[in-house]
Amino acid sequence: MRTLEIKKATGSLAKYAREINKEPVILIAEGKPIAALVHLDNVDLETLNMSTHPDFLALIERSRERRRTEGGISSQEVRNKIGLH
């Protein structure tokens, strides 16, 4: 993994993108990571969009919280409810 201070990132985006086949490029500002250029294997645009979409992430968090507070049912119980044994 290569880290690069954002103030020193004066190369073109294309230059840094070519480097990510070797290792990720992490951009740093004031000692903290702020962005990453990583090679994407087996990722489609829809999956990538959903994994960073605030509304979708909020929905997932609400679901997790509901599971923590109210419990849930096992996958076997789901199979039984829909008639798969």
List the domain range (segments joined by +) for residue 27: 2-37
> Is residue 82 one of the residues assigned to a domain?
no
**Which pLDDT score is estimated for 21?**
82
> Is residue 20 one of the residues assigned to a domain?
yes
pLDDT digits (tens, 9 = 90+) for 1-23: 889 999 999 989 898 888 888 88
3-state SS, residue 55? helix
Distances (CA, A) of 78 to 59, 73, 85: 21, 7, 10
Q: Of 42, 1, 2, 38, which is closest to residue 20 (Cα–Cα)?
A: 38
pTM exceeds cut of 0.85: no
Total tally of structural domains belonging to the chain: 2
pLDDT digits (tens, 9 = 90+) for 54-74: 999 999 999 999 999 999 888
**Which pLDDT score is estimated for 55?**
96
**Which pLDDT score is estimated for 42?**
85
